[in-house]
């Protein structure tokens, strides 16, 4: 009787062992299928989602903010005022003033002596200085002109009611005086443009430095233009409107 009981217990114990082993095997195969199960490091490597700390932005422009205490003061980049711009324009850009357009040439209805026609005369500016000289866009008193005149290029004027001018009017058929400054010794050539479109060329030969004078006749109505060269260095041009 006792033997049979032990045999029954042994069989029951063996059955329990078998059930336990079977359950263990089933659990190994299905353990990873349940939520919350640990992930094997060797088989799954999670890819972290990008965060604000790991994102990199490449700017199209680099902007630098300068603290207010280190910024340049606005006064260093303020554009010049209209008055300053106007002053600069007057200083750097010669402009024919309206007064020069009303200048009347000092003229003579009578022809000068034959010895003074078609010749170059020396003019003593110390003895008979002009009242004013047109220079760099305005008329300057002789004392002021004398101090600022560069005297490195030939210059040409007309004796007028306002002084030495670049433009003047005169009656047709009159004789006017043209004043010249010669900076260096050289061949002097004068070019006169007449109202009919022709140009007359006069070669005065070698001229010495200083102020010169010549008589010019505006014989017919129209515009006359004159220019001088000294050693092939050109002067300004002057205009006489004869009517």
Question: Alpha-carbon distance 155 to 237, whole Å?
Answer: 8
C-alpha torsion angle, residues 201, 204, 205, 210 (rounded to 10): -130
Our measurement of the distance from residue 188's CA atom to the centroid of its chain's CA atoms, rounded to an integer in Å, reads: 37
Question: Alpha-carbon distance 228 to 181, whole Å?
Answer: 10
Question: Alpha-carbon distance 185 to 101, whole Å?
Answer: 33
More confidently predicted of 62 and 92: 62
Interval 157-191: pLDDT, tens: 999 999 999 999 999 999 999 999 999 999 999 99
pLDDT for res 172: 98
Total Cβ atoms within 10 A of residue 157: 24
Question: Alpha-carbon distance 159 to 104, whole Å?
Answer: 9
Q: Average pLDDT in the 33-61 region?
A: 41
Q: Average pLDDT in the 119-145 region?
A: 96
* pTM value > 0.85: no
DSSP readout, 60-88? Answer: SS---PPPGGGSPPGGGSPPPPHHHHHHH
pLDDT for res 69: 39
Interval 141-157: pLDDT, tens: 999 999 999 999 999 99
Question: Which residue is it, tokens 């007359």?
Answer: 200
Report all structural domains of the chain as residue ranges with CATH numbers, in order of start: 96-242 (2.60.40.1930)
Q: Do the Cβ atoms of 237 and 157 come closer than 8 Å?
A: no
Interval 18-27: pLDDT, tens: 666 655 544 4
Q: How many CA atoms lie within 13 A of 119 on its CB side?
A: 9
Q: Is the pLDDT of residue 137 over 80?
A: yes
Q: Is the pLDDT of residue 87 over 60?
A: no
């Amino acid at each position: 009787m006792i033997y049979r009981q032990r045999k029954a217990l042994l069989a029951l114990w063996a059955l329990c062992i078998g059930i336990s082993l079977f359950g263990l095997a089933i659990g190994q195969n299905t353990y990873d299928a349940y939520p919350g199960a640990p992930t094997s490091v060797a088989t799954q490597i999670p890819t972290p989602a990008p965060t604000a700390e790991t994102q990199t932005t490449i700017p199209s422009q680099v902007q630098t903010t300068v603290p207010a205490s280190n910024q340049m003061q606005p006064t260093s980049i303020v554009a010049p005022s209209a008055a300053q711009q106007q002053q600069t324009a007057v200083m750097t850009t010669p402009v024919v003033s309206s007064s020069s357009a009303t200048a009347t040439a000092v003229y003579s209805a009578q022809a000068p002596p034959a010895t003074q026609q078609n010749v170059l005369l020396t003019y003593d500016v110390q003895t008979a200085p002009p009242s004013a000289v047109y220079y760099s866009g305005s008329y300057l008193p002789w004392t002021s002109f004398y101090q600022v005149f560069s005297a490195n290029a030939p210059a040409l004027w007309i004796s007028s009611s306002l002084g030495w001018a670049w433009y003047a009017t005169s009656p047709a058929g009159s004789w006017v005086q043209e004043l010249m400054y010669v900076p260096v010794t050289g061949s002097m050539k004068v070019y006169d443009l007449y109202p009919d479109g022709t140009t007359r060329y006069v070669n005065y030969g070698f001229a010495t430095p200083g102020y010169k004078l010549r008589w010019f006749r505006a014989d017919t109505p129209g515009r006359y233009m004159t220019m001088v060269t000294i050693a092939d260095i050109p002067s300004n041009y002057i205009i006489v409107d004869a009517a």
